[in-house]
Structure 1
Amino acid sequence: MKAAKTIPSILKYVLVISVSLLVFVSLQNRRSNTLLATTITVTGVTTSNDHYTTSFSSALDFSDDLKIRAGYTTYDAYIQRQLNKTLNPKLRKIWTTRDWDRKIKVFSRFFNEMKLENLLSNSSKSLSIGARVGQEVEALKRVGVTDAVGIDLVPFPPLVVKGDFHNQPFGNDTFDFEFSNVFDHALYPEKFVAEIERTLKPNGVCILHVALSRRGDKYSANDLYSIKPLSKLFRRSELVRVRKVDGFGLDTEVVFRKKKMIRRS
């Protein structure tokens, strides 16, 4: 009789344990999904602009080679943070006085080298992306590239017009040459590069100065640790070369050439 009573008791005990385990697993799965959703929310940015409603996932795609910095809850918040630097009166005074001639001299030497390597010519229609007060643009003009302009969130006429590098205010296949040293400020690197490839003519050249060995400043939106992500992002271009440079805190120069369009008969 004792044995008969013991078996149902054991079955009841096993049933209770099984139900408890199922509840525990269910809670853990729910918690994992919540954490995943939180991670995606931090990685991406929600904005009212339909152009940017898709969460950005390059931080996941490129693992440790390209990381998007957290903290931007909306695209407007990101833009405001960039404006905090661009509109800083102390910085703008430095850029237009103490830094003006020094940077123009360095950029002029750099652009002359590009001309010697046939990456740039006097007839090249050129764009400087994230040009601030336009030292790069002035340097291009001084070395003979007269058809040159810059874009930035804050215009600086006549050298720099207003423009967001995530959505350039130019038509397709406009420029022969594009230069930027602000890749680290791109919240959406995929869009940053896509806009370069959209506005660059076939066989046009894009040159980026980036930092690989150190983190960018506090206004940077991403951190790049190798050129592999750039090679993936430039889907319509070929990597021409990579070399070390001393570019005002940036240590690596990466050159891409947009592939020529293949016409189908």
Structure 2
Amino acid sequence: MEPATGKRSFLRKILVRALFICVFIFLLRFAYVVTIRGGSCDAADFCFFSAPENLNFAGSGAVRIGASSVVVDSVGSSSSSALRDLWTSKEWRKSVDYYSAIFQDLITEGYLSPQSKALCIETVSGQDVFALKEVGVLDAIGISKKKYPPLVVSGQAFRQPFEENTFDFEFSGAGGLDRSVRPLDFASEVARTLKPEGFLVVHTASVKDMYSFNTFLGLFNCCTLVRSRDFGGPDSSMPSIREIVLKKESGKILSHGAPKKPGGTSVNKCSVPGYKHELIRKAEPLITEEPLKPWLTLKRNIKNVKYLPSMADISFKQRYVYVDVGARSYGSSIGSWFKKQYPKQNKTFEIYAIEADKSFHHEYKTRKGVTLLPYAAWVKNESLFFEINRDPGHKGEPGGRGMGRIQPVQSSTNFVGDIDKIRGFDFAHWLKNAVSENDFVVMKMDVEGTEFHLIPRLFETGAICLIDEIFLECHYNRWQRCCPGERTSKYQKTYSQCLELFTSLRESGVLVHQWW
């Protein structure tokens, strides 16, 4: 009987070894599913059971197998094939691991917890939501124009389909807020749906300087800044992004200091933030000596102008507005300069042309995207005298019309040209009603000496703080081209007074450029 017993023992050893080999192959395949395909499996993967809900594996990011399986298994039959292909792709897995590592850091720092009710805003296809569930934040949902059930519901960042104070944590990935055409509404919806003491985390590639950073913070006046850091993006197409963490606080009010108008008088209307002073330090220097040939000086100097959008990112503004005060013809500055030369960073600008001379009004009727205000910019609403200069060679204007000055009707005047009676309007008051601090406002002002009235009025009312950049022509008793050695009597101010005006504007934090 001993040979039979030995034979059975030999067969048993072979079966045990075969079983161990099968188990080893099964575990090897299972490990592949976990690490490469993210824990989702089908019959071809040799998956015959579901992992426990609390089973975690350490790797490039902690992977919560049960949560992943629940998500995959809950896909509807009509879309299961496409979503399974998406959720098991290497690109998807790479993105999920990227977000998992980020969310684990946020959990460690206390901004996110497994008990958080979380929202991912304008998610691409739910990778960030998937990552939240894998690291243990199971009560997570995303919104996007296209839904990906059960991870993502249909919705828009500026019109979230949720009640007030719903979420403890909200996340906007790179490209979310950057692509938004309504950033202020985006921020307002976050303020509405985020709970007090809740956290907002935004990834952005547009915050590259102090101007854009402070513009970004200005959107979220419901929140305080917790921290900001830079790190690499998810792929080579986005090499660097900034992560900004904000905390919602009830009843938070932002406060600023008071500016000074030219002359040093304090004005408790608004203030110019310090980061704008940094932009001014980068701007081209003022021309301190009076140019003998202003137009030639302009042509040379315009090449040196440091436009604000060439120094800073102007994203996160609600609207983009160009106001041409003293516009004259469309081609004078709107068509010839602003449309062609001003760097707009692919933003669409609303254009306002303010021109009192009736001879230019007809051509604006056919100009789309331009709103004509057929009045004179002034310090209050009243009737004015408007002088029409006749100078056939003056700046190439059609019909020989030059630039006209304005005076109140009751004032004495030394006008020598034709005179029209026109309406003047309170420009500062109009500006405060037309734009807001969330808008990006560029202005060109060429008002034949009225700048010495309008600029102080802008400071007095606080409207100056609504302007991001000004191109100002200051009018003074310059040398006449016709008569060497003689100055024009048309303007009473001197170049020194103009230089003082420009200097005081810059010292007050206004990015102003000399214009002729």
Q: TM-score range by the shorter chain?
A: 0.5 to 0.7
Question: Which residue number corresponds to residue 241 of structure 1?
Answer: 227
- Per-residue CA shift, 1:98-133, capped at 9, x if unaligned? 421001111001100000000000000000001121
Question: Which residue number corresponds to residue 209 of structure 1?
Answer: 203
Q: CA 1:207/1:213 → structure 2, altered by over 3 Å: closer, same or farther?
A: closer
Question: Which residue number corresponds to residue 247 of structure 2?
Answer: 257
Question: Which residue number corresponds to residue 200 of structure 1?
Answer: 194
Question: Which residue number corresponds to residue 227 of structure 1?
Answer: 213
SS across alignment from 2:161: coil
Letter in 2 for 1:186: S
Determine which of 101, 113, 121 is the counterpart of 1:109.
101
Letter in 2 for 1:232: G
Q: TM-score, normalised by structure 2?
A: 0.30
Partners of 2:87 and 2:147 in 1: CA distance? 14
- Structure 1: unaligned runs, 5 residues or longer: 1-92, 215-223
SS across alignment from 1:171: coil
SS across alignment from 1:226: helix
SS across alignment from 2:212: coil
Partners of 2:133 and 2:224 in 1: CA distance? 27
Question: Which residue number corresponds to residue 161 of structure 2?
Answer: 169
Q: Is the 8 A contact 1:176 1:204 kept in 2?
A: yes
Q: CA 1:163/1:213 → structure 2, altered by over 3 Å: closer, same or farther?
A: closer
Letter in 1 for 2:193: T
Q: CA 1:96/1:230 → structure 2, altered by over 3 Å: closer, same or farther?
A: farther
Shift of 1:229: 1.1
1:137 aligns with 2:129: yes
- Per-residue CA shift, 1:198-239, capped at 9, x if unaligned? 10000000000001378xxxxxxxxx9621111101011001
Q: Is the 8 A contact 1:212 1:225 kept in 2?
A: no
Q: CA 1:132/1:121 → structure 2, altered by over 3 Å: closer, same or farther?
A: same
SS across alignment from 1:197: helix
Q: Is the 8 A contact 2:178 2:206 kept in 1?
A: no
SS across alignment from 2:217: helix
1:158 aligns with 2:154: no
- Per-residue CA shift, 1:128-181, capped at 9, x if unaligned? 001121000010000000000000000000000000111000010000000002
- Per-residue CA shift, 1:16-68, capped at 9, x if unaligned? xxxxxxxxxxxxxxxxxxxxxxxxxxxxxxxxxxxxxxxxxxxxxxxxxxxxx
Partners of 1:180 and 1:96 in 2: CA distance? 23
Q: CA 1:225/1:139 → structure 2, altered by over 3 Å: closer, same or farther?
A: farther
Name the % identity: 40
Q: CA 1:142/1:127 → structure 2, altered by over 3 Å: closer, same or farther?
A: same
Question: Which residue number corresponds to residue 20 of structure 1?
Answer: none
Runs ≥4 in structure 1, deviation > 6 angstroms? 93-96
SS across alignment from 2:148: coil
Q: CA 1:225/1:185 → structure 2, altered by over 3 Å: closer, same or farther?
A: farther
Partners of 1:225 and 1:158 in 2: CA distance? 39
Q: CA 1:167/1:103 → structure 2, altered by over 3 Å: closer, same or farther?
A: same
Shift of 1:96: 6.8
Partners of 1:179 and 1:124 in 2: CA distance? 12
Greater displacement, 117-126 / 245-254: 245-254
Q: Is the 8 A contact 2:117 2:167 kept in 1?
A: yes
SS across alignment from 1:227: helix
Partners of 1:239 and 1:213 in 2: CA distance? 14
SS across alignment from 2:200: strand
- Structure 2: unaligned runs, 5 residues or longer: 1-84, 253-516
Shift of 1:94: 7.1
Q: Is the 8 A contact 1:132 1:160 kept in 2?
A: no
Matched residues, number: 163
Letter in 1 for 2:221: R
Q: Is the 8 A contact 1:183 1:189 kept in 2?
A: yes
Question: Which residue number corresponds to residue 177 of structure 2?
Answer: 183
SS across alignment from 2:163: coil
> Larger radius of gyration, structure 1 or 2?
2
